[in-house]
Amino acid sequence: MVQDMKTNEQKDDPAYIEWYGAIYESDGKKETMAQKIGVHKCTADDMKVFYPPAKKSKDKIADLSEKKALLCLDSVDVNGKKVNKKLFGSTDSQPNRTLVITMQPCIPKQITQENEKFVDS
């Protein structure tokens, strides 16, 4: 979740911010994205398989859950292929397979007649 630090208002409008997971594979020299994984608002079923939160995080997790602001990874990648969850390796200088969670801000939108009224002059 992206929020205003002064008001705590949620600011992650999906029209402008994209969240996704990605599995990267590396041979120790070159890294490539093997799978891009979409996200969805966590459901009650998703919450049932969460590990118990740390004591200091319990209230925050409960608050985000109540606000429907928690995001969970999809079980298939953006191409409909099952996500390979095997991760390994401990450094970037050796073969590894890692999961990265990305928030891509400021997704540019093309100005059209329908949305030009929202553009600041």
Q: What is the pLDDT of residues 7-51, one digit of tens each?
A: 877 777 777 788 999 999 999 899 999 999 999 999 999 999 999
Q: Give the span between the Cα atoms of 54 and 26, in whole angstroms.
A: 32
| Conformation bin of residue 30: beta by default, left when phi > 0, alpha when psi is -120 to 50 | beta
pLDDT 10s digits, 71-115: 999 999 999 999 999 999 988 889 999 999 998 887 777 778 887
Predicted structure pTM score: 0.72
Nearest to 37, CA basis, from 112, 99, 87: 99
Nearest to 29, CA basis, from 101, 100, 91: 91
Query: Residues in the chain, how many?
Result: 121
Q: Give the span between the Cα atoms of 48 and 2, in whole angstroms.
A: 24
Q: Give the span between the Cα atoms of 22 and 29, in whole angstroms.
A: 18
As given in the structure block, the two tokens for residue 37 are 């994984």
